[in-house]
Amino acid sequence: MNVNIDLTTLWAFIIAFAVFAYVVMDGFDLGIGILFPTIDAGVERDRAMNSIAPVWDGNETWLVLGGGGLFAAFPLAYAVLLPATYPLIIAMLLGLVFRGVAFEFRWRDPAHRPLWDAAFCGGSLMAAMAQGMILGAILQGIEVEGRAYAGSWWDWLTPYTLLTGLGTIAGYALLGACWLVWKTTGKCQDHAYRMAFKAALITLMLMAGISLYNLFLFEQYRERWLEMPNILFASQVPLLTAIIAYFLFRGLVKRWEVWPFALSLVLFLLGMAGLGVTIWPYVVPDTVTIWEAAAPERSQVFMLVGVAITMPLILGYTGWAYWVFRGKVGEEGYH
């Protein structure tokens, strides 16, 4: 049993890693989609799009690993969470359909490019909002009976989930803007600096709001964050967030090129840590723990072998693909 507990914890961290990788990597793709209407049509938009065209597909694959991994390692959680957030999942998937095809279609059909640009933005917005609301719907609690979801199909819609949805949109916009700061020059970069500043402000305000709201959701959340001795550890998360936020704003004002993106990644990492502090060890708050939802040891071991072998390779060739397309986008096209 001891071994199983360790394996289950390990798997919770692997899934969390996949989700985090998805959130930050597709986060900047979706963020560029969210910011698309504010970017000038023509050269600037093409450049923004080209900065992610070679990598978006790989980034999106982490979402399949997150979902597929949850299915494999925590089948009960997968079977409860997905029906509970049904309309949100469908909205996210349809949003990703529009976003994904727009990459190809806008080049194929110059006459209808504004239409596919709108699909790119609308799809990104819809996917981001849905993902944020899914997170909120899980955090605010889900009704379970036996091994199944027992609520109705509108339970997920609350002021809290609207807040988490908007927070995700703002956070993705921040990532997208910082990515553009890194990958572009000139007018596009100037614009990205301005948008990153605004997005950072909104993201931090919504993060603070959601964190406070959390304290009123479950007794456990309050204990984790406010009672001694938990508060000594937990309080490090908001403290670090404040420090990172300071450097992020400073970097944006001083026009550092790479650091804003790195700092916004750290901001997301802290958000993830806060999430972990809040919900651990539950996968459905107050109802299903990771051990109750876990697949048997044999399934976990079999997959762990796969992860141990393939993950270094995946990280290797994904890193290589990014390396191939390194540098500022668009410059090499001018000779």
Minimum distance of another protein from residue 77's CB (angstroms): 9
For residues 131 and 96, is the Cβ–Cβ distance under 8 A?
no
How many whole angstroms separate alpha carbon 212 and alpha carbon 233? 17
Minimum distance of another protein from residue 31's CB (angstroms): 19
Minimum distance of another protein from residue 152's CB (angstroms): 7
Nearer to another protein, 63 or 195 (CB): 63
- The structure tokens listed for 118 are 């709108």
Nearer to another protein, 229 or 333 (CB): 333
Picking from 232, 265, 272, the residue whose alpha carbon sits closest to that of residue 247 is: 265
What φ, ψ does residue 148 adopt, rounded to 5°?
-140, 160
Q: Cβ atoms within 10 A of the Cβ of 126, count? A: 22
Nearer to another protein, 5 or 215 (CB): 5
Nearer to another protein, 53 or 163 (CB): 53
Nearer to another protein, 246 or 322 (CB): 322
Nearer to another protein, 281 or 306 (CB): 306
Alpha helices in the chain (DSSP H): 2-35, 43-50, 56-73, 75-84, 86-108, 113-139, 159-183, 186-214, 219-226, 230-234, 236-254, 259-279, 290-293, 297-324
Minimum distance of another protein from residue 45's CB (angstroms): 8
Minimum distance of another protein from residue 312's CB (angstroms): 11
Nearer to another protein, 62 or 193 (CB): 62
Minimum distance of another protein from residue 166's CB (angstroms): 23
Minimum distance of another protein from residue 169's CB (angstroms): 20
Instruction: Provide the 8-state DSSP code for 110.
Output: G
Q: Residue 123: CB partners within 8 Å, gap ≥ 6? A: 33, 94, 95, 96, 97, 98, 99, 100, 102
Please name the helix (run of DSSP H) or strand (run of DSSP E) that holds residue 144, with its range, or none.
Answer: strand 144-145
